[in-house]
Amino acid sequence: ETNMPVIATAFVIASPAARLAIAHREVFGQDWMRSSWWPSAQASGLLEIGNHSWDHQHPALIDANTGQPKSGRFDDITSLALAETEIADAQRLIEQLAPGPAAALFAYPYGQSNDFLRHDYLPHQQRRHGIRAAFGCTPAKVQAATDRWQIPRYVCGLHWKSAAEFSRLLD
């Protein structure tokens, strides 16, 4: 047993406009998705801020190219231009607002990725985006052979809903 502190990571949507639109639609207009809490959360020593994309490809948002709601699918990100917007642009803003070690971590929205992101963009464009590892939503423990562009992740509300359930996962 160790006395190392547990530091959690909150993976956040970078775009202020996207956070506002999602909050309006999904959380009854509550002001819970602003970035104002990020620095104090980091200062607590208990929470770091990681990258969860520019806008989550959230269907509450309108795609500027099609005029239609976004797909709600992150595995649709199959071009350099889209990856730059969703990952690299988000990375730059998060590093500006909440610099810290977790800013170099990315969690795929909806846990969805594809071969382009895992095998091309993330590993070969690191100088552009600064991401060092990426997480999916497969509930499993990390192993020595885990692919750093598809690290498993236990998601609160999906894989655990209480401190007791989370504690059992850590055993």
What lies within 8 Å, CB to CB, of 60 at 6+ separation is 21, 22, 24, 25, 26, 69, 70
Residue 130 lies in a domain: yes
C-alpha to C-alpha distance for 167 and 169, rounded to whole angstroms: 5
Q: Which domain holds residue 77?
A: 8-170
Number of CB atoms found within 10 A of residue 15's CB: 20
What is the pLDDT, as a whole number, of residue 2? Answer: 61
Count how many domains the chain has.
1
**51 residue type, one letter:** N
Note whether residue 35 is domain-resident.
yes
Domain membership flag for residue 3: no
Q: Could you give the C-alpha distances from 113 to 24, 60, 64, 110, 120, in angstroms and in order?
A: 27, 20, 22, 9, 12
Provide the 8-state DSSP code for 116.
Answer: I
How far apart, in whole angstroms, are the C-alpha atoms of residue 52 and residue 135? Answer: 10
- Please indicate, yes or no, if residue 129 is contained in any of the structural domains: yes
Residues belonging to the chain = 171
Tell me whether residue 2 is in a domain.
no
Q: Is residue 94 part of a domain?
A: yes
Binned at pLDDT 50, 70 and 90, residue 147 comes out as very high
Q: How confident is the model at residue 40 (pLDDT cuts 50, 70, 90)?
A: very high
Residue 95 lies in a domain: yes
Asked if residue 49 lies in contact with residue 10, where contact means CB atoms within 8 angstroms, the answer is yes
Specify the pLDDT at position 87: 98
**Does the pLDDT of residue 1 top 60, yes or no?**
no
pLDDT score, position 153: 94
In a domain, residue 1? The reply is: no
Express each pLDDT in 59-69 by its tens digit. Answer: 989 888 899 99
